[in-house]
Amino acid sequence: MRTRRHTAHEASEQHGIDLAPMLDFVLNLLIFFIIIAVFVKESGLMVQRPTGEPPPPNADKSIAIQILQNGEVWVDGRVIDAEAVRANVERLHAVNTKAGVLIIADDKAPTGLLVEVIDQTHLAGVYNVTFATGE
């Protein structure tokens, strides 16, 4: 019986990294992320960007609602409660049906109060809401 000798040439063929398992793993990850990406639903707000055109000269005045840093809500030059925003917006909107709402919020105003004021204006039937920040 003759034994087989190991030569240097055969030994060099054994040194190498088998990439098949790594490629299988990467392919599985790729398939996983493609499938998951289909199920991800991003939520957001619909925003109407300004056109850059100046308003017409007979443009209707907006209903201004100001939210201060201390939590006060001002509508039509007087302080009101956040729950009274709906009634005031309905009253002012009945006078001028084409008017939108301009919410001027201080940069340190409570966010929850801002969201509540927006909800109240939507409940009043006004969806044309514009935002500004006060100093």
In the structure encoding, which two tokens stand for residue 17, read together? 């990294």
DSSP secondary structure string, 60-129?
A: PPPEEEEE-TTS-EEETTEEE-GGGHHHHHHHHHHH-TT--EEEEEETTS-HHHHHHHHHHHHHTT---E
| Residue 46 scores a pLDDT above 60 | yes
The pLDDT of residue 58 is: 46
Architecture of domain 63-134: 2-Layer Sandwich (3.30)
pLDDT given at position 44 = 73
Q: What is the pTM for the complete model shown?
A: 0.56
Of residues 40 and 2, more confidence is placed in 40
Whole-angstrom Cα distance, residue 51 to residue 5?
A: 83
pLDDT at residue 24 tops 90: yes
13 by DSSP, 3-state: which? helix
Domain spans of the chain, in order of start: 63-134
**How many Cα atoms sit within 13 Å of 122 on the Cβ side?**
6
Mean pLDDT, all residues of the chain: 82
